[in-house]
């Protein structure tokens, strides 16, 4: 069984939920991946989204966009990310999902990219700019390699199409909580629970909610209706503001956010 599936299955049996931090590979130096990923696990994360830096933002707000720029300016390349993931894979049980523009995958070659990612130790992918109608080859390649492929569902997507995207996702469906770009916010949309309920009508895949989540209270609100809370901008910002030890900050913030998870999750 894929590690992502196993994580959600285990949490489901325990009545737990997942915290899924996002980090930008190469921000602060690509070698930091080997320190940050185990730190996130110690802090209470179950799955980590590893953003592979790209020059053109895809729904990224200013915090993550700046982190991508810093990573590219430092010379971060895809092969370096794979090397760092391979080096840390045996040190963590975290599910590792690569979030990467499909243009990068296309340039490398779909089969080659998937094979290299699997060999490095990734458990799956999010291709945020890959539309449903063009996703079948990528879904097939991921499935053949035993990896998951989660697809994004925007709040503006008509519910019938949103259900199609959810049904096509494996591992989990990524539910974007609000319109616009990534970044911290003060409240979650009131219509989110109803939207997730409608998506559950068409798929057994877990629901992971991202965009705008930055506090334990927001994590608590999200996992009351979904299976996972995704936190990106707030974590990326905090690590950048503490360059003396970003891994320690990653662990500390993950511990703070995990206070919003059910007690069974925190005790696992």
Q: Whole-angstrom Cα distance, residue 98 to residue 149?
A: 10
DSSP classification of residue 30? G
Name the catalytic one among 41, 49, 221, 227: 49
Residues constituting the chain: 268
The CA-atom distances, in angstroms, between 51 and each of 25, 81, 101, 102 are 6, 10, 9, 12
Active-site position among 27, 41, 60, 227: 60
d(CA 252, CA 197) in angstroms, rounded, equals 33
DSSP reduced 3-state for 150: strand
Is residue 60 part of the annotated active site? The answer reads: yes
Cβ–Cβ under 8 Å, residues 196 and 163: no
**Count of alpha carbons within 13 Å of 64, Cβ hemisphere only?**
29
Q: Is 153:199 a contact under the CB 8 Å cutoff?
A: yes
Residue 66's contacts (CB-CB under 8 Å, 6 or more residues apart) are: 240
On whether the CB atoms of residues 209 and 231 are closer than 8 A, the answer is no
| 49 included as an active-site residue | yes
For 42, the enclosing helix (H) or strand (E) is helix 33-43
Residue 137: Cβ-neighbour burial (10 angstroms; 0-12, 13-18, 19+): exposed
Asked if 66 contacts 17 with a C-beta cutoff of 8 angstroms, the reply is no
Integer Cα distance of 83 and 25 in angstroms: 11
| Catalytic residue ranges | 49, 60
């Amino acid at each position: 069984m894929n590690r992502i599936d196993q994580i959600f299955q285990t949490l489901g049996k325990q009545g737990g939920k997942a915290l899924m931090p996002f980090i930008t590979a190469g921000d602060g130096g690509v070698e930091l991946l080997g320190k940050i990923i185990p730190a996130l696990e110690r802090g209470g994360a179950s799955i980590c989204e590893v953003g592979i830096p790209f020059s053109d933002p895809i729904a990224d707000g200013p915090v993550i966009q700046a982190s991508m720029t810093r990573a590219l300016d430092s010379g971060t390349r895809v092969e370096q990310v794979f090397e760092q993931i391979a080096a840390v894979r045996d040190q963590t049980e975290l599910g590792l999902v690569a979030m990467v523009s499909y243009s990068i995958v296309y340039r490398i070659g779909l089969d080659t990219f998937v094979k290299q990612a699997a060999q490095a130790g990734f458990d799956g992918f999010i291709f945020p700019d890959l539309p449903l109608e063009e996703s079948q080859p990528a879904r097939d390649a991921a499935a053949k390699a035993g990896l998951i492929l989660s697809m994004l569902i925007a709040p503006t997507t008509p519910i019938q199409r949103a259900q199609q995207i959810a049904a096509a996702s494996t591992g989990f469906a990524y539910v974007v909580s609000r319109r616009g770009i990534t970044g911290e916010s003060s409240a979650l949309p009131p219509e989110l629970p109803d939207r997730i309920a409608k998506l559950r009508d068409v798929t057994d895949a877990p629901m992971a909610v991202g965009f705008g989540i930055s506090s334990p209270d927001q994590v608590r609100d999200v996992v009351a209706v979904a299976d996972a809370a995704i936190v990106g901008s707030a974590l990326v910002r905090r690590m950048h503001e503490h360059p003396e030890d970003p891994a320690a900050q990653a662990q500390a913030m993950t511990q703070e956010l995990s206070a919003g998870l059910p007690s069974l999750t925190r005790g696992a």
